[in-house]
């Protein structure tokens, strides 16, 4: 199926992260 | 890009991503060739909604130019690098300053307290006029090794406090000192704590790696031990510490040990790190596949860091652009975001050229600074992949930033050429991001 990547799934790549 | 039976389509500017079964994509392409509008359907609607399917190329080109100019116009003055000395107590193997083009008959000099005051006055007045009030201002105390000129460091911190008290600098203006840690003592740690100065501390991993590259000019010093001692002093006094780490061939070859050093040892207590890809230098021989391996290590490190909530700046820049769907115009502040002040008060745009004073056209001792930014940045504002013709069709354009102009100049003779590390780095990180996000989305 076609999936458009949504912000809620994008942010998961951050995991627990917030010379 | 494709993985198995699924293809991913990426909009390089909006960073929109559409996943579609590869067979459906192929059928859609054929339909598009045979009929002008490609029929109807979920895929077509998705591609139109993401701006991947446009009515004509002219609109697409206009959108690109509009976005590029909008991004460029947002580059406001927010940072200053105060090079309180261009001398250093180390002679790191990979240091840009030790490259043949910038060493020669060099003699180090220290910045005077008068120049410190004039530099901070200039930064305060220029950011008030040309900065974005919404963005944090940062003063980097830099070198060389800044603690080799401790007097100037202390003067800069105390004078910044005076400017804040007067309202000439915002209270939120942050001071960061970037040091190799060897000269740092307890008084320094207490002073940084009392004045909310955060510290960038250089360390390249376990002692056998750190001591291989970070070589003292005076024999008998165990640099890794000194750095560890400095880190403990800073943590004892509650100073924020970010680690500046170079990914060397040894780090790549001993990656598990290298990673454990930051995730399982005492350095996990740092506030974050930057894993820097070793730049081109004639002093370190790199294998042809070094950058490929180094980027894989950076990605593997991030996968571990995100589990434990440890911030790694180099990859986060690209991850943030992808997550926030905000394309990155330039990695480097030379596009108008930074002033660099040499120890003699010369004003430039890039600290990597301090020894030769290349691109340092003005001085803090000048009486008129009205046209300073025009003079400084005239040939730099467009130093972005958005202005590099070979980059406009790259899928990673939105997360790239173009790498380091100084490295490009050292390697190719022209700062406007591609920094080849950034090219490979961005494409590989984008590919990883797209499929990592797919695992969450499907």
Is the pLDDT at B36 greater than 70, yes or no?
no
pLDDT 10s digits, B246-299: 989 999 999 999 999 999 899 989 989 988 887 667 778 788 889 889 999 989
Contact B309 A16 (CB under 8 A): yes
B311: Cα separation from own chain's centroid: 14
- For residue B79, the surrounding DSSP H or E stretch is strand B79-83
pLDDT 10s digits, B213-235: 988 987 899 999 989 999 999 99
The confidence score (pLDDT) of residue A19 equals 39
Question: Can the peptide bond before residue B144 be classed as cis, meaning omega within 30 degrees of 0?
Answer: yes
Is the pLDDT at B80 greater than 60, yes or no?
yes
Chain B residues touching A11 at Cβ < 8 A: 323
Chain B residues touching A9 at Cβ < 8 A: 437, 440-441
- Nearest residue in chain B measured CA to CA from A4: B18
| DSSP 8-state code for residue B171 | T
pLDDT 10s digits, B311-361: 888 788 899 999 999 898 998 899 998 999 999 999 999 988 887 888 899
Q: Considering CB atoms only, which of B43, B274, B319 is closest to A13?
A: B319
Contact A13 B274 (CB under 8 A): no
pLDDT 10s digits, B291-313: 889 999 989 899 989 999 998 88
Chain A residues touching B46 at Cβ < 8 A: 2, 4
Bridge-partner residues for B340, per DSSP? Answer: B81, B348
Chain B closest CA to A8's CA: distance in Å? 9
Q: Considering CB atoms only, which of A3, A12, A16 is closest to B19?
A: A3
Bridge-partner residues for B8, per DSSP? Answer: B19
Q: Considering CB atoms only, which of B49, B325, B440 is closest to A12?
A: B440
Asked if residue B149 lies in contact with residue B113, where contact means CB atoms within 8 angstroms, the answer is: no
Chain A closest CA to B406's CA: distance in Å? 14
């Amino acid at each position: 199926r076609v999936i458009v990547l949504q912000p809620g799934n994008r942010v998961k790549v951050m995991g627990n992260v917030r010379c | 890009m494709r993985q198995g039976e699924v293809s991913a389509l990426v909009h390089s500017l909006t960073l929109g991503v559409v996943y579609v079964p590869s067979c459906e994509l192929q059928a859609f392409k054929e339909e598009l060739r045979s009929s002008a509008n490609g029929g109807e359907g979920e895929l077509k609607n998705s591609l139109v909604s993401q701006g991947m399917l446009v009515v004509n190329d002219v609109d697409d080109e206009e959108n690109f130019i509009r976005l590029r100019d909008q991004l460029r116009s947002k580059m406001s003055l927010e940072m200053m690098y105060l090079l309180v000395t261009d001398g250093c107590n180390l002679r790191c193997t990979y240091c840009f300053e030790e490259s043949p083009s910038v060493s020669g008959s060099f003699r180090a000099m220290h910045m005077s307290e008068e120049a410190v005051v004039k530099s901070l006055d200039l930064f305060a007045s220029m950011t008030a006029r040309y900065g974005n009030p919404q963005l944090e201002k940062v003063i980097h105390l830099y070198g060389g090794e800044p603690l080799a000129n401790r007097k100037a460091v202390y003067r800069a911190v105390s004078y910044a406090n005076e400017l804040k008290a007067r309202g000439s600098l915002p209270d939120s203006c942050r001071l960061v000192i970037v040091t190799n840690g060897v000269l740092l003592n307890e008084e320094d740690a207490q002073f940084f704590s009392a004045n909310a100065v955060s510290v960038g501390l250089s360390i390249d991993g376990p002692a056998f790696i750190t001591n291989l590259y970070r070589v003292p000019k005076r024999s008998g010093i165990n640099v890794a031990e000194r750095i560890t001692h400095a880190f403990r002093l800073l943590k004892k006094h509650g100073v924020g510490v970010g680690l500046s780490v170079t990914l060397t061939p040894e780090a790549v070859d001993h990656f598990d040990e290298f990673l454990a050093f930051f995730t399982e040892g005492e350095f996990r207590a740092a506030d974050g790190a930057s894993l820097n890809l070793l730049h081109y230098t004639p002093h370190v021989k790199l294998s042809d596949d070094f950058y490929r391996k180094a980027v894989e290590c950076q990605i593997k490190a991030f996968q571990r860091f995100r589990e434990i909530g440890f911030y790694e700046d180099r990859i986060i820049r690209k991850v943030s652009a992808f997550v926030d769907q905000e394309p990155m115009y330039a990695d480097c502040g030379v596009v108008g975001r930074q002033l660099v002040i040499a120890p003699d008060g010369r004003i430039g745009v890039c600290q990597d050229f301090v020894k030769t004073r290349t691109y340092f056209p003005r001085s803090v001792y000048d009486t008129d600074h009205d046209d300073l930014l025009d003079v400084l940045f005239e040939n730099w504002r467009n130093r972005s992949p958005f202005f590099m013709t070979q980059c406009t069709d790259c899928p990673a354009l939105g997360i790239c930033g173009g790498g380091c102009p100084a490295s490009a100049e050292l390697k190719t003779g022209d700062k406007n050429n591609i920094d080849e590390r950034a090219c490979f780095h961005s494409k590989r990180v984008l590919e990883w991001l797209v499929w990592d996000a797919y695992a969450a989305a499907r």
